[in-house]
Amino acid sequence: MKKINIIFLVTIFLCQSCIRNLDLDLNFEPKLAVYSVISPNGNPEVFLYESVPFELQTQNFKVKFVETAKVYISDESKTVELTGKRYYTKNFFNGLFDPEKDYDSSEVFSYKGEFKFLPGKTYFLEILYNGETIKSSTTIPEKVQLNSTTLQREKKLAGNGEPYFEDKLILNFDDPKSILNYYKYSVSYNQTVIVDKQIGVDTITGLPIFVKDTNNLQYRYLYRKYIPDQDLNGDNTYNFDGQNHAFEFLISDKINLFNNPDYVFNVRTVLRNYNKSIYDYKQTSDDQSDEIGLSDPFTEPILIKSNIDGGLGIFSSFCDSDPIIVTYDP
């Protein structure tokens, strides 16, 4: 019987209907899978787990985290050993693990430590596990600053003739010339809702007495796709290398921020520049998920790109711009 090794990294494929009739003998040996993305924003965190075979007769499984490895982060002058710890997070869905997403709560295990990261510097990851040494490295991209973030409001008419407002954030920046960059942007805000708070009752009229009070809410949005500054696919979707460019965020399409005059908003915007390795990893991971989603057993398999020597997965990095805060006060 033909034997097939199929390895999952971070994507899990729920395609049971198209595989139940396949009779495959899985001769599988797990490998160490790594997920870690560092930045000057904070300290390192490394997730280690065993790759798993394509369980043809089941849709669900739990990621098996590796808790007995030795994990080190270093640069050219110092080395720090990270400490493993179990904790609770919200980054799981049907066995799928992705720290950038927010799913149902689950218990995870990761290795953490203190290390100061700087833009433009190269950092090294070394893992000792089961008598093997797994290595990788990443160079943190340079910071690309936002020139400005402006709020643009446009009055429009709905199909029924009712007026409404469409609100956009315009994030403007200068892309460095002849350097391939991969961007995302984040938008977050602290929303102060002005409410009426009852403090008593008028002794003469018997009517309640109200004063103005505030309630604070928070929101964060990170753009899902990685945006390269050069045309990588031959379709000229993105091609602004060395140019002034702007990303538009239709904020009123996400949340109804500006139609209530009792709201005050401080909107925080950040431009995030990623290392190429995370772009390649995510692109091939998404492509593989799409292919499996077609339920076609004859689809040519897509290999997820990895930069882990001796294992699977990704060790990558990003650098954020300085934030720009736009205040909206009706």
Asked if residue 279 and residue 130 are part of one domain, the reply reads yes
Asked if residue 175 and residue 136 are part of one domain, the reply reads no
Q: Give the total number of structural domains in the chain.
A: 2
Asked if residue 287 and residue 252 are part of one domain, the reply reads no
Question: Does some domain include residue 208?
Answer: yes
Question: Does some domain include residue 2?
Answer: no
- Is the model more confident about 190 or about 18? 190
- Percent of the chain at pLDDT exceeding 70: 68
Question: Does some domain include residue 85?
Answer: yes
- Residues 104-142 have pLDDT tens digits of 446 788 999 999 999 999 999 999 999 999 999 999 999
Asked if residue 132 and residue 150 are part of one domain, the reply reads no
Using CB atoms within 10 A of its CB, is residue 311 exposed (0-12), middle (13-18) or buried (19+)? buried
Task: Give the pLDDT score at 289.
Answer: 57
Question: Does some domain include residue 312?
Answer: yes
Asked if residue 105 and residue 21 are part of one domain, the reply reads yes
Question: Does some domain include residue 328?
Answer: no
Question: Does some domain include residue 37?
Answer: yes
Question: Does some domain include residue 197?
Answer: yes
Of the candidate ranges 36-40, 52-56, 159-163, 169-173, the one whose mean pLDDT is the lowest? 52-56
- Residues 68-116 have pLDDT tens digits of 999 999 998 999 999 998 877 654 433 344 555 544 446 788 999 999 9
Asked if residue 282 and residue 136 are part of one domain, the reply reads yes
Taking phi over 0 as left and psi of -120 to 50 as alpha, with beta for the rest, 159 belongs to: alpha
Asked if residue 117 and residue 180 are part of one domain, the reply reads no
Of the candidate ranges 35-39, 153-157, 282-286, the one whose mean pLDDT is the lowest? 282-286
Structure tokens at 36: 């870690």
Question: Does some domain include residue 1?
Answer: no
Asked if residue 290 and residue 228 are part of one domain, the reply reads no
Asked if residue 103 and residue 15 are part of one domain, the reply reads yes
Strand 163-174 vs strand 52-53: parallel, antiparallel, or unpaired?
unpaired
- Is the model more confident about 327 or about 34? 34
Q: Could you tell me the residue range of the domain that residue 244 belongs to? A: 146-269
Pairwise CA distance, residues 8 & 329, whole Å: 49
Long-range Cβ pairs for the range 150-154 (8 Å, 24+): 150/326, 151/267, 151/326, 151/328, 153/258
Asked if residue 127 and residue 203 are part of one domain, the reply reads no
Overall average pLDDT of the 221-245 stretch: 81
Overall average pLDDT of the 14-34 stretch: 57
What is the value of pTM for the model shown?
0.75
